[in-house]
Amino acid sequence: METIRPLKFGTLSLPDRESRIVCRTILLDMLGEATINVTGGDLSGVTGLFWKYVSLSLATIYFPRVSINLMARGVNGSDVVIMRAIDGPLVIQHRNKRIELAPHDIIFVPADASSNIELPEGGRFDCAHMPAYAIAGMSDHLKPLIMKKLSTDCLPLGLLTNYAGYLLRQEYQSEQDAAMMVAHFYDLLPVLTQHVNSIAAQEAPQTRMASIKAVIENNLANGNFSIADVAELQGVTPRAIQKFFSREGTTFSKYVLERRLALAKDKILKDGSTLSISQMAYDCGFNDLSYFNRTFRARYDARPSDLRRMYA
């Protein structure tokens, strides 16, 4: 029966040239043709493990603890590579996205184009290559994972890395055992996607509300700014905007009025008498001076002019 063994390399403290050849050979299988740039120019002493099966490749490379830059050309297909750095941050530039990951964070990167991979502190670099034919039909499960920072605090991802670690550390596996472990590895992807989607669903309302409030804050001075403008910028309906505010026990118009009054109060306390009350009202999005005075007095129990005199 055929056995599958992980390749251990660098145990004899390879010099720079041999270390580069080994690393480029392994990265060729994982990321496509790769150029390796090292601070100081010396890659001597690289060690690591490489495990290859027909539908999954795994590698752990222990780079020197200096800045490492990998420019990988990709494999021109629908393959996907999973990456993480252990001893420092990992920075990925893929197409028009640049993402910085903390140590141990994981990212799924398409291998369909070149990627620039930085390890500013060098050290251990893990990656797993999933060929297109192995993930065919799994696009719905992989889509929510692509180019997202994922923490190994999540159980499915922890199990995924444990399977990879097991395959790399075992002295050998039979072909049957390897096939079973790889099947379990891929079975975890839908579970991971479900977990990521559930977290996103919990965070979505808070994230969307923060985005809506940021849009409002940037447009307080515009007296003609309306809920329709916010809805258009957010790509939702005005009714959806109202639902977000309803969950907080208020309405869009009440929230905007409250923020404009707070802005006016801050201007009075900050600018003192340098601005007229009418100019101040206009700068805070009020097109009607009498309405401004009336709502300000109702909110702060004092007219704007009275508050300015008190704090002059």
Cβ proximity of 68 and 83 under 8 Å:
no
Question: Among 41-50, 99-108, 205-214, 276-285, whose mean pLDDT is lowest?
Answer: 205-214
List, in sequence order, every residue forming a beta bridge with 69; answer none if it has no partner.
Answer: 37, 118
**What's the pLDDT band for 30 if we cut at 50, 70, 90?**
confident
Average pLDDT over residues 73-81: 85
Alpha helix ranges (H) inside 35-154: 139-142
- The sheet with strand 115-119 has its strands ordered as 34-38, 68-72, 115-119, 90-94, 97-101
Q: What is the pLDDT of residue 200?
A: 61
Burial of 149-176, coded b for 16+ CB within 10 Å and e otherwise, reads ebeeebebbebbbebbeebbeeeebeee
pLDDT digit string, tens, across residues 119-133: 999 999 999 999 999
Average pLDDT over residues 88-100: 92
Q: What is the pLDDT of residue 201?
A: 58
3-state secondary structure of 33: coil
Q: What is the pLDDT of residue 234?
A: 80
Average pLDDT over residues 85-114: 93
**What's the pLDDT band for 55 if we cut at 50, 70, 90?**
very high
Is the predicted pLDDT of residue 270 greater than 80, yes or no? Answer: no
* Whole-number percent of the chain with pLDDT over 90: 52
Higher pLDDT, 221 or 200: 221
Which residues touch 205 (CB under 8 Å, ≥6 apart)? 244, 247
pLDDT digit string, tens, across residues 155-189: 889 899 998 998 998 887 888 888 999 999 999 99
**What's the pLDDT band for 273 if we cut at 50, 70, 90?**
low
74 — alpha (psi -120 to 50), left (phi > 0) or beta? left
Closest to 131 measured CA to CA, from 185, 91, 62, 93: 185
Q: What is the pLDDT of residue 173?
A: 81
Q: What is the pLDDT of residue 250?
A: 93
**What's the pLDDT band for 29 if we cut at 50, 70, 90?**
confident
Measured over the CA atoms of residue 93, residue 96, residue 98 and residue 104, the dihedral's sign is negative
Is the predicted pLDDT of residue 214 greater than 60, yes or no? Answer: yes
Cβ proximity of 101 and 85 under 8 Å:
yes
Q: What is the pLDDT of residue 124?
A: 96
User: What are the structure tokens assigned to 267, written together?
Assistant: 């201007």
By CB neighbour count within 10 A (0-12 exposed, 13-18 middle, 19+ buried), where does 30 fall?
Answer: buried
List, in sequence order, every residue forming a beta bridge with 108; answer none if it has no partner.
Answer: 82, 146
Q: What is the pLDDT of residue 13?
A: 78
pLDDT digit string, tens, across residues 242-264: 988 998 899 999 999 999 999 99
What is the average pLDDT score of the chain? 88
Q: What is the pLDDT of residue 203?
A: 55
CA–centroid distance for 96 within its chain: 14
Is the predicted pLDDT of residue 9 greater than 70, yes or no? Answer: yes
Q: What is the pLDDT of residue 183?
A: 92
